[in-house]
Amino acid sequence: MRQIVFYSMTDFLFSFMVVIIREDKRNVRRKVSEGEDDGTESEEERLRDQREREELEQHLRERDTARTRKLTEPKMSKKEQEEVARRDSAVEKGDTQPIRNFSRQEYLKKRELRKLEELKDYLEDESYLFGDEKLTEAEIQDFRYKKAIYELIKKRTQEEDNVGEYRMPDAYDQDGSVDQEKRFAVSVQRYRDTGSTEKMNPFAEQEAWEDHQIGNATLKFGAKNKQVSDNYEFVFEDQIDFIKASVLAGDNYEDAMPAKPSQESTGKSAFDMLREERKNLPIYSYREQLLNAVKDHQVLIIVGETGSGKTTQIPQYLHEAGYTKHGKVGCTQPQRVAAMSVSARVAQEMGVKLGHEVGYSIRFEDCTSEKTILKYMTDGMLLRELLGEPDLGSYSVIIVDEAHERTLHTDILFGLVKDIARARPDMKLLISSATMDAEKFSDFFDQAPIFSFPGRRYPVDICFTTAPEADYMDAAIATVLTIHVKEPLGDVLVFLPGQEEIEAVEENLKNKIRGLGTKIRELIICPIYANLPSELQAKIFEPTPEGARKVVLATNIAETSLTIDGIKYVVDPGFSKMKSYNPRTGMESLLVTPISKASATQRAGRAGRTSAGKCYRLYTAYNYYHDLEDNTIPEIQRTNLASVVLSLKSLGIHNLLNFDFMDPPPSEALIKSLELLFALGALNQLGELTKAGRRMAEFPLDPMLSKMIVVSDKYKCSDEIISIAAMLSIGPSIFYRPKDKQVHAYNAMMNFHVGNVGDHIALLKIYNSWKETNYSTQWCYENYIQVRSMKRARDIRDQLEGLLERVEIEVSSNSNELDSIRKSIVAGFFPHTAKLQKNGSYRTVKHPQTVHIHPASGLSQVLPRWVVYHQLVLTSKEYMRQVTELKPEWLIEIAPHYYQLKDVEDAASKKMPKTSGPAVV
DNA sequence: GAGCACTGC
């Protein structure tokens, strides 16, 4: 939103900046050469200079036109253009006086008012959103987007009328030069003083920045022959101004951090040292208070920053206080790795073997025994345990750790665990979270007391840009280079939304570095995202060589999932990709969205893990306070709930709409899921779990996949079906497509689609081929397939195979009968069917909407008349992913309760050509 | 001929 609004202004000033930058470059060059031969340039240098300038100008021209093209704002009138041209020529002549008088603000205001009028009627009427004529999700997005812009403009014009023309108080000296310190002080003051932030002029920063830039122009051109300041050597084209707006306080950081335990320096045993270290943790001094609080209250909210030791220490304290005498202490983590590493650490501290008194339990791996009293596990694992032990009778304490992350499973646990605590007064419940949202947790858990203690962290300076950035990627690159040149050594972490952006930035940075040559220190660029093969991922953990700097370009993976030591600078453009789910259409989409304040804080905190750090936010403080949400929308409100509903039903929760959610999901999503489960035969008309439903709930899969497995018993192909289910549930990360070998990768993939068997069967072929090569890694490389994904598929398949026995399904193979495999698929996915239209698109059968076969599908060129699909995604179009052909009569045969003859008969009556491919009209 | 943030059972 802010990008577009401010775009025009940034762009407007761009012509000025070009001049400034050009001049800067010249000055630098001049400075360097002057030092050597007293201002006289050699011919060679002059030519080089000229060439460079031409290159620069060419580059700027290109970028200029690119930006102009993007611009959606109304163009300036001819008169206005003439005025600007006149001012421009004044600048060229070095006569800067007129610029300061130019009524830029009036022009902008006029233009915005015009825009306001255009949008007014459309945007003040909400019925577009809720009227009879339903809009698509994309249209609604667009509407909201425009509306937000409109609100901003409206607010601004109103405020400007009240405030009058903006002037920077006291920031400029008489002669027009800028006192930087004063100026920053004023800027900072703006955020401190405004008790009611509403009163702030939202564009103050923008204008301050503009004034500043113009001030620069004045300074530079007025001082052409004067001495240029000497405190820099390189000037980057897009250097960005930051203001330090706040400090993410480090808690107790000045307290002696325990020196890294080094075996040789002390004569103590490792065990003693661990014990010493435990006493140094911030939580240690609160031990007695904490235990008293646990004794007095059944439910307790614990707030402590990361690094306070709460995850490792609290269970031990509880054990020492005797809570493990009559049951286990269970501690949930959102991630597998966390559960494993934390339990290993605790076992070490307690001097026991992992898996005995201290253990962990995650999917595919249960490292516990009968002796286990402290059990770490993933939240989803506890949810699975609840299916077998609904009152958690074997636990005396449950700790829900990292509750602020609000994962889907954590959110469900909240409701369940709250209910159990009411029924079991002897059970203690601790909810542990980082600072955010403590009150909300307390409210939810019947006003449970909050126990908070400090963590240990170094302070992080937070810097905002003084002006919004039009292109966050350019800005990120510029910031990284500025840090590299100006700041002391220390690694940099850049957050980017996705793989594509990371690759682009990597490329661009490398080019820039090459251009700068050997004058700067070495810069090592490490990309990291989940789909990156693990051997390349490991690169980020390699220590940085002496004298060099490492730049880590990361997705959200670096926000919570992995921590990198040695990061001192964080660059945060303020965006991430977020999945959203539309229950009405059943469509998923992945959108680049602004992050929340909570994740901004989390990102900033990544800079202060091993020493004091700095965080550069590529947005303004105004954006931060006004445009960012406080918290990220919890996962439960933006996901498909079918499997959640099935689990809850099998836990005996009948009235789901009244289930005690901390943030209830949209009821539409719940109802959709209930409908689906009813159609699949997992629920009866009363909403009770059927026998089939109970069997389906055993599988840790989406209900449609579970149904497919349960039905495969009938078609005697369960062996094939569980392979397909495993492959489907690892998602789209099976294929590895390096940019330079796209064609090879594509051909390799198409090998599995020979005979147009459909994507499901192709997945089966991939799995079986891999199995035949004895799970060969080499085979994966040859076929551009990700080994990691395949290994996961094998794990899942093994687990499913084990579960088959539990629900009394025989493993039976019938690999020659592809149709029976297809029928099993249809039996699970019959609500996901679509029929070919004359124009080559598809229409879903039950809730008609236009969709297309995803280009990555093997059938995207074949276009069968009827297809069953695994998933709908909204990207550039509405796409069906993983498609298989079916015969329409199967629908009547398999799902007579769902499809009537009329749903499928028109295909038979209309004489469509038998050959595949769209009919020509 | 598009595009895949991240977890988890």
Q: What is the pLDDT of residue A114?
A: 54
The closest nt to A743, taking CA to C1', is: B1
> Confidence class of residue A61 from pLDDT cuts 50, 70 and 90?
low
pLDDT for residue A320 is more than 70: yes
Q: Which of A163-167, A523-527, A534-538 has the lowest mean pLDDT?
A: A163-167
- Measuring alpha carbon to C1', the residue closest to nucleotide B7 is A335
- Which of the two residues, A83 and A18, has the higher pLDDT score? A83
pTM (2 d.p.)? 0.71
Contact A614, A569 (CB under 8 A): yes
A246-284 burial code (b ≥16 CB/10 A, e <16)? bebebbebeeeeeeeeeeeeeeeeeeebbeebbeebbbe
CA at A404, C1' at B2: how many angstroms apart?
Answer: 36
CA at A364, C1' at B1: how many angstroms apart?
Answer: 38
> Confidence class of residue A50 from pLDDT cuts 50, 70 and 90?
confident
Q: What is the pLDDT of residue A584?
A: 87
Percent of chain A with pLDDT over 70: 71
Q: What is the pLDDT of residue A136?
A: 55
- Measuring alpha carbon to C1', the residue closest to nucleotide B1 is A855
- Measuring alpha carbon to C1', the residue closest to nucleotide B2 is A855
Q: What is the pLDDT of residue A245?
A: 73
pLDDT in tens, A97-129: 333 223 344 444 555 555 555 555 555 555 444
How many Å separate Cα A188 from the centre of its chain?
30
Q: What is the pLDDT of residue A11?
A: 38
- Segment A835-860 shows an average pLDDT of 91
- Which of the two residues, A380 and A814, has the higher pLDDT score? A380
Q: Which of A240-254, A430-444, A635-649, A839-853 has the lowest mean pLDDT?
A: A240-254
Q: What is the pLDDT of residue A141?
A: 54
pLDDT for residue A418 is more than 60: yes
Closest CA to A282 of A261, A303, A260: A303
pLDDT for residue A304 is more than 90: no
Q: Which residues contact A79 (CB under 8 A, 6 or more apart)?
A: none
pLDDT for residue A162 is more than 50: no
- Measuring alpha carbon to C1', the residue closest to nucleotide B6 is A557
CA at A58, C1' at B5: how many angstroms apart?
Answer: 36
- Segment A443-451 shows an average pLDDT of 92
What residues are paired with A853 via a beta bridge? A880
The closest nt to A557, taking CA to C1', is: B6
- Which of the two residues, A175 and A830, has the higher pLDDT score? A830
- Which of the two residues, A385 and A913, has the higher pLDDT score? A385
- Segment A675-683 shows an average pLDDT of 94
- Measuring alpha carbon to C1', the residue closest to nucleotide B8 is A380
pLDDT in tens, A181-199: 444 444 333 333 333 333 3
CA at A407, C1' at B7: how many angstroms apart?
Answer: 8
CA at A499, C1' at B5: how many angstroms apart?
Answer: 9
DSSP string for A733-745: TTB---GGGHHHH
Q: What is the pLDDT of residue A847?
A: 85
Q: What is the pLDDT of residue A27?
A: 41
- Segment A812-836 shows an average pLDDT of 91
CA at A557, C1' at B7: how many angstroms apart?
Answer: 10
Residue the block writes with tokens 């005797």: A322
CA at A455, C1' at B2: how many angstroms apart?
Answer: 46
pLDDT for residue A89 is more than 70: no
The closest nt to A592, taking CA to C1', is: B5
- Segment A780-788 shows an average pLDDT of 88
A360: enclosing H helix or E strand: strand A358-362
Interhelix angle A642-650/A379-388, nearest 10 degrees: 40
Q: What is the pLDDT of residue A885?
A: 94
CA at A635, C1' at B7: how many angstroms apart?
Answer: 11
- Segment A389-404 shows an average pLDDT of 92
Distance CA A616, CA A601 (A): 12
Strands A850-853 and A878-885: parallel
The whole-chain average pLDDT of chain A stands at 77
Dihedral of alpha carbons A400, A405, A408, A412, sign: positive
- Segment A5-15 shows an average pLDDT of 35
Q: Which of A588-592, A828-832, A883-887 has the lowest mean pLDDT?
A: A588-592
pLDDT in tens, A230-274: 333 444 555 777 888 777 766 544 444 444 444 444 556 777 777
pLDDT in tens, A890-911: 999 999 999 988 888 765 444 4
The closest nt to A699, taking CA to C1', is: B9
pLDDT in tens, A344-377: 999 999 999 999 999 999 998 899 999 999 999 9
- Mark the nucleotides of strand B covered by protein, meaning any atom under 7 Å from a CB: 1-9
pLDDT in tens, A537-585: 888 888 888 888 999 999 998 988 888 888 999 999 999 999 989 888 8
- Which of the two residues, A649 and A57, has the higher pLDDT score? A649
CA at A904, C1' at B2: how many angstroms apart?
Answer: 31
Question: Apex CA A637: angle with CA A198 and CA A584, to 5°?
Answer: 110
> Confidence class of residue A12 from pLDDT cuts 50, 70 and 90?
very low
- Measuring alpha carbon to C1', the residue closest to nucleotide B5 is A577
Distance CA A871, CA A881 (A): 5
Q: Which of A196-200, A761-765, A818-822 has the lowest mean pLDDT?
A: A196-200
